[in-house]
Amino acid sequence: MSDEPAVLVEARDGVQIITINRPRQKNALNGEVARGIAAAIDELEESDQLWVGVLTGAGGTFSAGMDLKGFLTGDLPVVEGRGLGGITQRPPRKPLIGAVEGWAVAGGFELLLACDMVVAAETAHFGVPEVKRALVAGAGAAMLLAQRIPQAIALELLLTGDPITAARAAELGLVNRITPEGGALEGAVELARTIAANGPLAVAITKQVAREAADWTFEEGWDKQSELMMPVFVSEDATEGATAFAEKRPPVWKGR
């Protein structure tokens, strides 16, 4: 047993970096990992100094998925009401970016579906091999993958269980940016800093609208969007954004 925590958390210039820290187990997900990620996300959501999260894995692998040894003993990587890894059923309100080196498969891949964006090394691989173990990708992939990519391609990935490369994932729109090997985390932090430089309330509500709009009818969408965004327009940050622009200086956000 290692004395190292299963999840490491670091704050860097408004960006929270969450690292799954079980490299000897290829960052397989167990209960401790799920609780650690959930706690880090709570910190991200409650902080007025952290605006964007980055989720990654230690030791050159993102995550090989659920720890099957733990599964056999009942140590499930699930947080009640929040899903696998503490995020698949209830993603954070603030943006979350996945940073992928090596393999992101099974539950590891499903964590990425809970992220808003993905930055991957050119040597990364992605897959949902659950059917190869007579399991169902029930932490998001079976339900959500066909909403992210064409249904026929999603079914190919889900029903064959075969992995794809980072380049193919980028072609399909599952990966936003590709970096050289070893550069995924820095690439994700760079993207996160760009987002964190913007008004945090506007970013959070924009994410919420983009995520939820598919469930709205065209008619109700305008009302729901207006209800969500009007508090942003009368916020302190909105006034600060306009004032900073007029004064030709960087804005100082307060998140309110």
**Active-site pick, 110, 156, 190, 247:** 110
> CA nearest 90: which of 211, 8, 187?
211
**137 in helix, strand or coil?**
coil
Token reading at 173: 């729109």
Are the CB atoms for 28 and 21 separated by under 8 Å? no
Q: Which two tokens stand for residue 211?
A: 């995520």
Residue 190 makes CB contacts below 8 A (sequence gap 6+) with none
Residue 130 is among the residues annotated as catalytic for this protein: yes
Q: Which of 32, 80, 101, 130 is catalytic?
A: 130
164 φ, ψ (degrees, to nearest 5): -125, 160
Place of tokens 């009640």: 80
Cβ-based neighbour number of residue 32 at 10 Å: 17
Amino acid at 211: R
Q: What share of the chain is helix, strand, coil (3-state, %, to 5)?
A: 45, 20, 35
Q: Residue 171 catalytic?
A: no
In the structure, how many helices (H) and strands (E) does the chain have?
10, 11
Q: Which residues are the active-site residues?
A: 110, 130
